């Protein structure tokens, strides 16, 4: 008996939920129709009608969208064929892909029409028959053409990459070959020997990159330890970029002045392709300071059903704290003759402000305003060095994309 009651209750609660399953696809169909996406509008209205075949709003959207979907498809495909046919170069692939996708969607829509429930109250009785078309042949033709286009594009980039690779005389040209081979691979994963050539191009195109030692590129008189830690934290970023091998040159050479290398220095740098130089203009990682400290106490009362009064209280201090920091650095990329290849200025500003209530141990949270920070222990100082490091590394990582 108990099991029977449970089944009835479950059925009672599930039924209203099932009864609403038609509403979500209806809303999606309505949005699609507004955007003139007639395929989605038709499909979603069909989905809604299957759940509730007498839902007039979905039937209206269905008739509206279905009456326009085939003519829309014809016009849209014609506009794409102007761009795609005949094949011109790799840029013909995208419109050809859209042609195939459109035919595939229209073909899927036609199949969904077959699953409509019988006895729909349609304003135009023959609307389904009049708008039923066979797209399978056109879809298959577009799919075959798309496959041919993809192969053409892969061959186009593969041939160009081979020319670049075979004529390359330096690491930068091998890197260009790698990127061109990669574009061929984007079309066909295992096209010819693209994988092997990418491996060789990567090996021949990877630059050996060295850092100037800290003592040679900063005259900033304070926080040298912090600045050194900041630079050391960027070294691992090279691992994210395929065309760079990091070399620590800090113990190999002593440069007399920035950007000028003596003969001895050149000899020791013969295997280094590029050097990265950081010149600090500003560095400051300020402490967390108390801007204000204000005593606060409060009592909150609530009358219970039995007439008694429940009381909560809190007391303590409201703190406002702040901290600021700045890093400004000139970043230069040089060749092993000291000539500047590229330069960027990196500026990082961090402003931290916080407000919290430091309550006594016997204070109750319920006596303090909601959504206000409440604590019984003093929060640790803001990690300004960490914040500066994270934001600085993010910007340096962008600069290191020259090694992608």
Q: DSSP label at 89?
A: S
Distance of alpha carbon 249 from alpha carbon 245, whole angstroms: 12
**What pLDDT score does 214 carry?**
52
Mark out the alpha helices in 37-135 (DSSP H runs): 38-51, 56-84, 93-113, 127-130
Distance of alpha carbon 184 from alpha carbon 236, whole angstroms: 30
Band the pLDDT of 15: cuts 50, 70, 90: very low
Answer for the pair 243, 205: CB distance below 8 angstroms, yes or no.
Answer: yes
Which of 251, 258, 399, 256 lies closest to 338, judged by CA?
A: 258
CB atoms within 10 A of CB 138: 19
**Helix 56-84 and helix 23-34, axial crossing angle in degrees, nearest 10:** 40
Distance of alpha carbon 341 from alpha carbon 325, whole angstroms: 30
The predicted model scores a pTM of: 0.75
Ramachandran region, residue 221 (left: φ > 0; alpha: ψ -120 to 50; beta: rest): alpha
- pLDDT tens for 22-53 read 788 888 888 988 998 999 988 988 888 888 87
pLDDT for residue 2 is more than 80:
no
**What pLDDT score does 127 carry?**
84
- pLDDT tens for 90-139 read 999 999 999 999 999 999 988 888 877 777 777 777 888 888 889 999 99
Q: DSSP label at 68?
A: H
Band the pLDDT of 298: cuts 50, 70, 90: very high
Tokens representing residue 315 in the block: 């007391």
- pLDDT tens for 170-217 read 999 999 999 999 999 999 999 999 999 999 999 999 999 887 655 445
Mean pLDDT of the chain: 85
| 274: β partners | 209, 335
């Amino acid at each position: 008996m108990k099991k029977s009651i449970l089944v009835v209750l479950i059925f009672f609660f599930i039924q209203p939920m099932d009864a609403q399953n038609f509403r979500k696809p209806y809303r999606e169909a309505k949005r699609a129709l507004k955007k003139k996406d007639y395929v989605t509008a038709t499909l979603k209205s069909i989905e809604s009608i299957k759940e509730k075949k007498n839902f007039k709003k979905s039937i209206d959207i269905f008739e509206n969208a279905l009456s326009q979907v085939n003519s829309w498809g014809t016009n849209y495909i014609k506009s794409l064929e102007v761009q795609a046919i005949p094949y011109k170069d790799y840029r013909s692939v995208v419109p050809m892909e859209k042609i195939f996708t459109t035919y595939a969607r229209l073909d899927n829509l036609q199949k969904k029409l077959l699953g409509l429930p019988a006895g729909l109250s349609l304003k135009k009785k023959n609307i389904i028959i009049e708008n039923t078309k066979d797209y399978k042949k056109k879809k298959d033709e577009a799919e075959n053409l798309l496959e041919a286009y993809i192969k053409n594009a892969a061959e186009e980039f593969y041939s160009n990459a081979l020319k670049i690779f075979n004529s390359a005389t330096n690491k930068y040209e091998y890197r260009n070959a790698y990127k061109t081979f990669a574009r061929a691979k984007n079309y066909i994963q295992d096209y010819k020997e693209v994988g092997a050539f990418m491996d060789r191009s990567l090996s021949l195109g990877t630059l050996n990159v060295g850092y100037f030692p800290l003592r040679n590129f900063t005259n900033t008189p304070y926080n040298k330890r912090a600045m050194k830690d900041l630079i050391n934290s960027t070294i691992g970023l090279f691992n994210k970029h395929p065309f760079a091998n990091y070399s620590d040159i800090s113990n190999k050479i002593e440069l007399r002045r920035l950007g000028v290398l003596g003969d001895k220095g050149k000899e020791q740098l013969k295997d280094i392709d590029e050097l990265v130089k950081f010149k600090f203009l500003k560095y400051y990682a300020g402490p967390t300071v108390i801007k204000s400290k204000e005593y606060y106490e409060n009592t909150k009362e609530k009358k219970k059903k039995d007439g008694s009064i429940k009381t909560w209280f809190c007391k303590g201090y409201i703190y406002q704290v702040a901290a600021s920091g700045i890093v400004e650095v000139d970043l230069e990329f040089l060749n092993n003759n000291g000539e500047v290849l590229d330069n960027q200025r990196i500026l990082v500003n961090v402003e931290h402000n916080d407000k919290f209530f430091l309550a006594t141990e016997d204070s109750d949270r319920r006596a303090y305003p909601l959504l206000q920070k409440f604590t019984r222990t003093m929060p640790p100082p803001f990690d300004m060095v960490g914040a500066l490091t994270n934001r600085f590394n993010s910007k340096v990582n962008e600069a290191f994309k020259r090694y992608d």
